[in-house]
Amino acid sequence: MEAVARPDDLYSASLARFEEKRFAGEPAWLSQIRREAFARFEALGFPGVKNEEWKYTNVGPIAKVPFRPGNDRAGLEEGPHAGPLPGGESARIVFINGRHAPGLSKAAAGPAVVRSLREALREEPQLLKPRLARHASFEKNAFTALNTAFLEDGAFVRIPRGTIAGEPVHLIFLSAADGGEPVVSHPRNLILAEPNSQAAIIETYIGSPLPEGGGIYFTNAVTEVVCEEGAVLEHYKLQRESLSAFHVQTIQAAQGRASNFASHNFCLGAALARTDINVLFTAEGSECALNGLFLAGGSQHMDNHTLIDHAKPRCTSRELYKGILDGRSRGVFHGKIIVRQDAQKTDAVQTNKNLLLSREALVNSTPALEILADDVKCRHGSTIGQLDANSLFYLRSRGIGEREARALLTYAFAADLASRIRVPWVREEIEAFLGQRLPQAAEAS
Amino acid sequence: MLLEIKNLHASVGGKEILKGVDLSVNEGEVHAIMGPNGSGKSTLAHVLAGRPGYDVTEGRVLYKGKDLLAMSPEIRAREGVFLAFQYPVEIPGVSNVYFLKNALNAIRKHRGEPELDAMDFLKLTREKAKLVDIDEDLVKRPVNEGFSGGEKKRNEIFQMAILDPTLAILDETDSGLDIDALRTVAAGVNQLRSPQRSMIVVTHYQRLLNYIVPDFLHVLVDGSIALSGGKELALELEERGYAWLEKEPPGPHAEAVV
């Protein structure tokens, strides 16, 4: 595999320091995984554009910056994130530059058990051992390998068997450069929905709300989701990193029998963002929905990869991803669906629609279906287009100004994804974001 | 005079479609424009509404004494021009009411009138929905999405009722309608006839004019008006068709034929 840069001594030195200081007391199985992951990262290196999975996303800028672990203060204890909750949340857990900030977190009011991974590793390692780093493979993904080698903290959310967490659990990852120095964090989350439980989890990634902004930093997150038999889980990702930040995340979900997993992925921030969402059906009769919206402007680069592995029969997947690209931004959608040989009666639908608001914006859309079973229903479709001239004229002919008409049509393009959000305050936040960004988008075109 | 079209030439995609149209419309008059396919009827309607891509190469259009062609489509609408589309556009994700409230308030703002709040607007939509006999559920749905042909046309007339234009241009509003839908749509249009409102009714078929009886009728052939007359001209066209008009290019005194 070709690599754009060899991981330099920086990472090796960091790992040595990690092992000495922070992880002296950690379970042996974890140290073992950490070492394996680092060895794998060294072998893989950062992926180059000749790597098919990274064909349209050049991570050279990430590899070149000498990121170091940030401090967990960064003057972020105060700010909007510390204020009252925007609405219903049954728990909030906040991380600053990847480290748990207990002062900003609020304990769970519902049945969900929410704690920092570091704490859970100390207090209930037996619960984590069979699950942590067992789902997100680092065999081929250098960023997951790096995250696993350096995993330190994150959220561990457990929805106990048969319980329903009414309000969502909110995970907030707040980052900022440390006195102008670029920092890296490797948040590692494990979400465990036990049999017949039900919950909504929100992951928010956000740059510093302070006036100087978040600056240059790199979030390299991994979230493992385990939906056990009959579990119903909604997962929201709101990526609103600072506009000079780099953001990479893999969300790896494993679905047990008759479980339901709905992912809503909103990609709004960062200079360069890459999200991989992988779903594996490990038993029959499950359903997943992958919804995604990426809204890129300026010179932002947003890459969304999804993989749905229909490994078992009678599972249903529905996927809708939309991209809105303005300025000189670049978008990538790569959606793979594998239907394994014995996954009969699979029902899979994938749709990707992209709207280009400027001439310089560009999107690459690649649906990839690999069907090995014969009794299946699979459909996919992909479109790339501009605002419809007829619709625009129709609105203007009724007295609506050109700018407003463009904004209205762009908003309408994304409206179905916003309407699928079942948590009211998340929907309002996304709608407000769309409303606030789109008139600019219209102006720029 | 409300509208004065003088020697209007217009091209679409480099091809000249309108080749010198002259037409005058006074306040409160209903003018029907008929003509064979490709004669330029719809082009005229769209040029008046300001559709991008329709280039006026010669001539002028005065509306309320102002240069209509210099105005953007939205300014024309705010000045009281309304085009009922032959093919109304579906806009999923935008509700009819949201869209119309924005449109109406843009027009009211332009006229220096206060914007309507949600309650007043709701009252207005109820009243107008009754007037044009449109289901209130349709009013709340996304613009034209999943509407039948008849529902779309009815929605156009409903929009016209809400926006209260001074000059309404109906572009083949009858096309594709069954007889019941045609009757409903025509009844809606007739409800909206008033001394303060002029209409240009573009149609391919005489049958619409049984319901919407025009004050004047013009026949457009090959990009210019070949013949003008009263409503009785429709019956003659019904009998004789357009062929006799197409064979002999009309002279400058074509109107004298009637």
SS3 B166: coil
- Give the per-residue pLDDT at A70: 73
- Give the per-residue pLDDT at A103: 86
Answer whether A399 sits within 8 Å of B100, measured CB to CB. no
CB distance A182 to A10 below 8 Å:
no
The Cα–Cα gap between A172 and A174 comes to 6
pLDDT of A320 strictly over 70: yes
Answer whether A396 sits within 8 Å of B74, measured CB to CB. yes
- Give the per-residue pLDDT at A445: 35
pLDDT of B257 strictly over 70: no
Closest-CA distance of chain B to residue A87, Å? 25
The Cα–Cα gap between B80 and B69 comes to 14
Average pLDDT, chain A: 89
A386 contact B CB<8A: no
- Give the per-residue pLDDT at A86: 54
pLDDT of A430 strictly over 50: yes
Of residues B184 and A348, more confidently modeled: A348
pLDDT of A115 strictly over 70: yes
pLDDT of B186 strictly over 50: yes
CB neighbourhood size of B3 (10 A): 23
Average pLDDT over residues A181-209: 94
Average pLDDT over residues B160-166: 96
Question: How would residue B42 be classed by pLDDT, with cut points 50, 70 and 90?
Answer: very high
Show me where the domains of chain A are located: 9-283, 388-445
Question: How would residue B254 be classed by pLDDT, with cut points 50, 70 and 90?
Answer: very low
A435 contact B CB<8A: no
Average pLDDT, chain B: 91
The Cα–Cα gap between B159 and A394 comes to 12
The Cα–Cα gap between B137 and B154 comes to 13
- Give the per-residue pLDDT at A227: 98
Please provide residue A154's backbone torsions phi and psi, each rounded to the nearest 5 degrees. Answer: 160, -165
Chain A residue closest to B83 (CA)? A397
Chains A & B: contacts with CB separation below 8 Å: 77
Full residue range of the structural domain in which residue B167 is found: 3-257
CB neighbours of A76 closer than 8 A, spacing ≥ 6?
A96, A101, A174, A176, A208, A210
Answer whether A398 sits within 8 Å of B91, measured CB to CB. no
Average pLDDT over residues A395-406: 95
Q: Show residues of chain B in contact with A389, CB under 8 Å.
A: 52-53
pLDDT tens per residue, range A200-240: 999 999 987 776 667 889 999 999 999 999 999 999 999 99
Q: Show residues of chain B in contact with A400, CB under 8 Å.
A: 74, 99, 102-103, 106
Of residues A181 and A256, more confidently modeled: A256
- Give the per-residue pLDDT at A69: 79
Q: What is the CATH number of the domain that holds B93?
A: 3.40.50.300
CB distance A226 to A195 below 8 Å:
no
Answer whether A393 sits within 8 Å of B106, measured CB to CB. no
pLDDT of B245 strictly over 90: no
- Give the per-residue pLDDT at A107: 82
Chain B residue closest to A391 (CA)? B89
The Cα–Cα gap between B227 and B219 comes to 5
Q: Show residues of chain A in contact with B89, CB under 8 Å.
A: 388, 390-391, 394
The Cα–Cα gap between B140 and B117 comes to 16
Q: How far lies A249's CA from each of A220, A273, A318, in Å? A: 6, 8, 21
Closest-CA distance of chain A to residue B87, Å? 10
- Give the per-residue pLDDT at B236: 85
Question: What pTM value is reported for the model?
Answer: 0.87
- Give the per-residue pLDDT at A16: 65
Q: Show residues of chain A in contact with B171, CB under 8 Å.
A: none
Count structural domains, chain B: 1
Closest-CA distance of chain B to residue A32, Å? 52
Average pLDDT over residues B145-167: 94
| Burial environment of residue B123 by CB neighbours within 10 A (0 to 12, 13 to 18, 19 or more) | exposed
- Give the per-residue pLDDT at A253: 98
pLDDT tens per residue, range A135-155: 999 999 999 999 999 998 999
Q: What is the DSSP string of A229-278?
A: TT-EEEEEEEEE--TT-EEEEEEEEEE-TT-EEEEEEEE---SEEEEEEE
Where would I find the H helices in chain B? 41-49, 73-78, 96-110, 118-131, 136-140, 149-163, 179-191, 208-211, 233-240, 243-247
Interface ipTM: 0.93
pLDDT tens per residue, range A158-182: 999 999 998 999 999 999 887 778 8
